[in-house]
């Protein structure tokens, strides 16, 4: 038995279509069998609600008097793209405000627009004969715009790898707060409700099909950026009119020390045309696997600790290296259900009919990493090989003398074998002097928990370490933990001077 | 009721003394000692003894501020993601059967960890 899309649309129009949400489908199929489910169910609605950083909107402001061709544009001090004609722009969700705290960004501008707030538009131009005006400042609301069309290059990730942190420090990432020593696991995605998880071969999800986006009726444009369906990481490019969106399905967010992002609800209805659709939409959380990746390793290829199913992740607790670790979702399953049930209601009430894709999305595509033609600058290129060190059992006054010579404010401390065991800074010495009654040897005042780098570490990673720990130098160690050089934050500036070949 | 107790100068173990003087059992949720800022402790006392305990502490030279019950959760901003759940050391947060966030403020020790972990600025301290 098969059903045609026209048959399903006829039922939607006369109000007799049977619509279910994707989380209900597995049990329906278990109960009625595949054939039975195909007869019974006409549409399965999916939904997800989570951080979708790669989102934004095209806006058209209408012409000013005298007219301006806007070249640099700010909306509530968040810069928008100025490379389009005259009074068009694109505001991206993750751009940070140039004046306010970094917790306000493009996503907040978008949310403020849809909740009816007034936004300050500022623009500059170099002027031309046809567009003489050089600058403009005005207050605008969503209703003042000619168009506000959200077009998101990458939404609705099929699934997303979970995150953990094996390092000694708390990390603040786009995957949220990651506690040290695998203290927690974070993940994203709605599992069984996720749109592409219910059509992994992209038979019915493609260009032109209707969707819910931010609470508005929108559509899939086509393949999303970084779409990598071959590895189960498909994505969609989506669009809808901002005027129809609501804050139930669109929320600006701020990931601490990462930046602004946009939480969006996206839902795709899937017409139940044949047995293949029934089988795919019967998918359960336990069949949807992702990797748990170690964000403690600052590399594109982060080590995988284990595979895990959405069922385990959603349970709130998983096992990792023999220990129970608590999990946190970053996306909202409650809102994902609200997306799927809203779509269901729209279709039941005949407000939305379905169609087949006008152009398919390639299900076998694999995303490539960036081609890099210039080599990354490594620590060895700017580290200082002539490093002044001190021994553990030396007197603190010796340390003070060495520091006073002014070549450094960080003295790596070595043991008898020349291995790095600590660091003494000017601050440590000052503290020791302030309490002369105790603590006289270097051993007593040094900082033992030393953050280090290696000769072959990319300089940007070493710089991030210094910034994260608020320190100004890193001892460079070899495999035997011998201190062979030192990297000073002040030397990072060298990179930008020599001119030409370096970034 | 939670009390935030600050001791500026070098001081005696006043919590023990207050327990002895007032006969009220005091639960220390957390305590911090810092060479520059002195000592700070967050304690939990029965509501009816709150005034008695704080008066006695003040008379022993401590700064006492009365905090409301635990972390404040703004339901309008919250989207029920759950990002806060795994970072809280006291398991204050959990989901109910409908995936709605439940907040057991009684357990909260106001450590503040969850505040930064909430992407929607839905968590804050009362004062
Ligand atoms: S302040 Fe600390 S104890 Fe209280 S809810 Fe937040 S993380 Fe938990
Ligand atoms: S992290 Fe914030 S938005 Fe998410 S569930 Fe917790 S309080 Fe709500």
B43, B67, B91 — which closes off a domain? B67
Q: Are residues A388 and A489 in the same domain?
A: yes
Residues contacting B51, CB < 8 A, separation 6+: none
**Torsion-angle region of residue A113: left (phi > 0), alpha (psi -120 to 50) or beta?**
alpha
Q: Are B3 and B50 in contact (CB under 8 A)?
A: yes
Query: Smallest Cα–Cα separation from A398: which of A342, A338, A445, A456?
Result: A445
A459 and A383 in a common domain: yes
pLDDT exceeding 70 applies to what percent of chain A?
A: 97
Best of A51, A320, A326, A334 to substitute, by most chain B Cβ atoms within 10 angstroms, is: A334
Phi, psi (degrees; rounded to nearest 5) at A29: -70, -40
H or E stretch including B16? Answer: helix B14-22
Same domain for A174 and A136: no
Of A51, A103, A328, the CB nearest to B82: A328
Between vectors from CA A45 to CA A358 and to CA A357, what angle results, nearest 5°? 5
3-state SS class at A158: coil
Distance (Å, rounded) from C-alpha A111 to C-alpha A260?
12
The reply to whether A427 falls in a domain is: yes
Closest CA to A47 of A367, A356, A347: A347
Rounded to an integer, the average pLDDT of A328-348 is 98
Q: What gap in Å lies between CA A21 and CA A334, rounded to an integer?
A: 13
Largest CA distance in chain A: 91
Q: What pLDDT score was predicted for residue A439?
A: 58
3-state secondary structure A304-331: EEEEEEHHHHHCCEEEECCEEEEEEECC
Residue % of chain A over a pLDDT of 90? 74
What mean pLDDT do residues B20-26 have? 86
Q: Has residue B124 got a pLDDT over 50?
A: yes
Q: Is residue A356 part of a domain?
A: no
Same domain membership, residue A273 and residue A204: yes
Q: Is A439 left (phi over 0), alpha (psi -120 to 50) or beta?
A: left
Reported as a single tens digit per residue, the pLDDT across A63-85 is 999 999 999 999 999 999 999 99
CB atoms within 10 A of CB A297: 14
Shortest Cα distance, chain A CAs vs residue B111, angstroms: 15
What's the pLDDT score for residue B10?
57
Q: Strand pairing partners for B27?
A: B44
> Residues A21, A84: one domain?
no
Largest CA distance in chain B: 51
Question: Residue A460 is part of a domain; what is its CATH number?
Answer: 3.10.580.10
| Residues A234, A67: Cα–Cα separation, whole Å | 43
Which residues contact residue A8 at a Cβ distance below 8 angstroms, ignoring those fewer than 6 apart? Answer: A17, A42, A43, A271, A272, A273, A354
* CA dihedral (A466, A294, A106, A95) positive or negative: positive
Q: Could you tell me if residue A462 is inside a domain?
A: yes
CB distance A176–B99 less than 8 Å?
no
Helix (H, G, I), strand (E, B) or coil at A150: strand
* Residue with the two structure tokens 């992740």: A313
Please give, rounded to a whole number of angstroms, the shortest distance from the CA of A332 to a CA of chain B: 4
Chain A CB contacts of B113 under 8 Å are 177
Do both B55 and B98 map to the same domain?
no
In a shared domain, residues A467 and A492: yes
Verify that A424 and A462 share a domain, yes or no.
yes
Secondary structure of B70-127 in HEC code, one letter for each residue: CCEECCCCCCCCCCCHHHCCCCCEEECCCCCEEECHHHCCCCCHHHHHCCCCCEECCC
Ligand nearest to the CA of A330: 2
CATH of the domain at B43: 3.30.70.260
Rounded Cα distance between A161 and A305, Å, is 11
pLDDT in tens, A2-43: 899 999 999 999 999 999 999 999 999 999 999 999 999 999
Give the span between the Cα atoms of A489 and A477, in whole angstroms.
17
Same domain (yes/no): A98, A244 = no
User: A80 and A179 share a domain?
Assistant: no
Mean pLDDT to the nearest integer, B86-92: 96
- Structure confidence at residue A88 as a pLDDT band (50, 70, 90): very high
Which CATH number do you get for residue B103?
3.30.70.20
**How many separate domains does chain A show?**
3
B63 and B84, same domain (yes or no): no
Distance CA A278, CA A273 (A): 8
Q: Are residues B19 and B63 in the same domain?
A: yes
- Same-domain status, B52 and B81: no
Note whether residue A502 is domain-resident: no
- Classify residue A267 by burial, with Cβ atoms within 10 Å: 0-12, 13-18, 19+: buried
Beta bridge partners of A217: A212
Given a cut of 50, whether residue A501 has pLDDT beyond it is: no
| Residue A338 domain flag | yes
- Do residues A488 and A384 touch, judged by C-beta distance below 8 A? yes
Residue length, chain B?
Answer: 127
Buried b / exposed e along A457-468 (16+ C-beta atoms within 10 A): bbbebbbebbee
Mark whether A424 and A343 lie in a shared domain: no
Looking at the domain assignment, is residue A401 inside a domain? yes
Identify which ligand lies nearest to the alpha carbon of B117: 2
Provide mean pLDDT across the span B21-31: 85
- Range of the structural domain that residue A221 is part of: 5-52+152-157+167-286+330-348
Q: Are A164 and A185 in contact (CB under 8 A)?
A: yes
What is the domain range of residue B43? Answer: 2-67
Indicate if the pLDDT at residue A440 is higher than 80: no
- Residue A309 within any structural domain of the chain: no
Element (H, E) at A254: strand A250-255
Q: Are residues B15 and B61 in the same domain?
A: yes
Find out whether the peptide bond into A449 is cis, omega within 30 degrees of 0. Answer: no
Q: Are residues A20 and A104 in the same domain?
A: no
Q: Please give the share of chain B, as a percent, with pLDDT higher than 90.
A: 38
Of the residues B70, B83, B99, which should be mutated to test ligand 2's pocket, given the most ligand atoms within 8 Å of the CB? B83
- Cβ(A26)–Cβ(A245) under 8 Å? no
Identify whether residues A187 and A127 lie together within a single domain.
no
B73 lines ligand 1 (CB under 6 A): no
Distance B114 CA to ligand 1 centre (A): 6
Structural domain contains residue A367? no
Query: How does the average pLDDT of chain A come out, rounded?
Result: 92
Domain end point (choices A145, A176, A209): A145
How many domains is chain B partitioned into structurally?
2
pTM score, whole prediction: 0.82
Q: Check if the beta carbon of residue A316 is closer than 8 Å to that of residue A174.
A: no
Tens of pLDDT, residue by residue over A98-149, are 887 779 999 999 999 999 999 999 999 999 999 999 999 999 999 999 999 9
What's the CA angle centered on A325, arms A320 and A329, to 5 degrees?
A: 110
Confirm if A282 and A70 have CB atoms less than 8 A apart.
no
- Tell whether the model's pLDDT for residue A473 goes beyond 50: yes
Q: What is the mean pLDDT of residues A316-334?
A: 96
């Amino acid at each position: 038995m098969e059903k045609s899309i026209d048959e399903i649309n006829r039922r939607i129009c006369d109000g007799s279509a049977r619509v279910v949400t994707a989380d209900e489908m597995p049990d329906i199929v278990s109960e009625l069998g595949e054939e039975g489910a195909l007869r019974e169910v006409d549409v399965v609605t999916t939904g997800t609600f989570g951080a979708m950083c790669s989102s934004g909107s095209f806006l058209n402001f209408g012409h000013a008097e005298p007219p301006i061709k806007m070249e640099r544009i700010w909306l509530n001090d968040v810069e928008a793209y100025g490379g389009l004609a005259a009074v068009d722009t694109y505001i991206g969700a993750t751009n940070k405000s140039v004046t306010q705290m970094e917790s306000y960004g493009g996503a907040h501008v978008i949310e403020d627009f849809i909740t009816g707030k007034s936004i300050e538009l500022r623009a500059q131009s170099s002027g031309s004969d046809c567009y003489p005006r050089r600058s403009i400042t005005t207050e605008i609301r969503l209703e003042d715009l000619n168009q506000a069309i959200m077009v998101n290059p990458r939404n609705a990730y099929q699934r997303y790898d979970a995150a953990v942190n094996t390092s000694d420090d708390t990390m603040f990432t786009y995957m949220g707060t990651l506690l040290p020593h695998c203290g927690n696991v974070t993940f994203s995605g709605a599992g069984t409700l996720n749109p592409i998880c219910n059509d992994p071969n992209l038979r019915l999800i493609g260009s032109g099909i209707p969707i819910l986006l931010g609470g508005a009726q929108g559509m899939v444009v086509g393949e999303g950026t970084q779409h990598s369906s071959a590895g189960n990481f498909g994505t969609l490019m989506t669009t809808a009119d901002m005027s129809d969106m609501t804050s139930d399905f669109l929320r600006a967010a701020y990931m601490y020390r990462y930046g602004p992002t946009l939480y969006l609800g996206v839902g795709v209805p899937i017409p139940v045309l044949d047995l293949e659709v029934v089988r795919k939409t019967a998918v359960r959380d336990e069949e949807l696997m992702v990797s748990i990746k170690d964000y403690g390793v600052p590399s594109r290829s982060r080590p995988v600790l284990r595979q895990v199913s959405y069922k385990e992740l959603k349970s709130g607790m998983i096992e990792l290296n023999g220990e129970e670790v608590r999990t946190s979702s970053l996306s909202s399953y409650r809102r994902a259900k609200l997306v799927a049930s809203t779509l269901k209601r729209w279709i039941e009430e005949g407000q939305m009919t379905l169609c087949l894709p006008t152009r398919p999305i390639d299900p076998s595509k694999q995303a490539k990493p960036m081609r890099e033609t210039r080599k990354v600058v490594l620590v060895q290129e700017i580290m200082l090989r002539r490093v002044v060190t001190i021994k553990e059992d030396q007197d603190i006054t010796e340390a003070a003398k060495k520091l006073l010579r002014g070549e450094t404010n960080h003295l790596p401390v070595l043991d008898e074998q020349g291995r790095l065991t600590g660091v003494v800074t000017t601050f440590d010495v000052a503290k020791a002097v302030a309490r002369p009654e105790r603590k006289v040897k270097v051993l007593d005042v040094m900082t033992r928990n030393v953050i280090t780098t290696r000769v072959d570490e990319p300089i940007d990673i070493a710089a991030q370490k210094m910034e994260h720990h608020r320190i100004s130098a890193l001892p460079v160690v070899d495999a035997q933990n011998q201190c062979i050089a030192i990297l000073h934050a002040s030397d990072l500036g060298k990179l930008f001077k020599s001119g030409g070949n370096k970034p | 009721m939670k009390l935030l107790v600050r001791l500026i100068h070098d001081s005696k173990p006043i919590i023990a003394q207050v327990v002895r003087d007032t006969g009220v059992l005091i639960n220390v949720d957390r305590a911090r000692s810092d060479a520059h800022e002195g000592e700070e402790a967050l304690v939990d006392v029965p509501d009816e003894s709150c005034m008695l305990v704080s008066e006695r502490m003040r008379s022993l030279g401590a700064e006492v501020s009365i905090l409301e019950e635990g972390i404040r959760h703004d339901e309008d901003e919250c989207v029920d993601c759950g990002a806060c759940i795994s970072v809280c050391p006291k398991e204050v947060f959990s989901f109910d059967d409908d995936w709605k966030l439940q907040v057991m403020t009684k357990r909260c020790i106001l450590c503040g960890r969850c505040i930064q972990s909430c992407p929607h600025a839905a968590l804050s301290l009362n004062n």
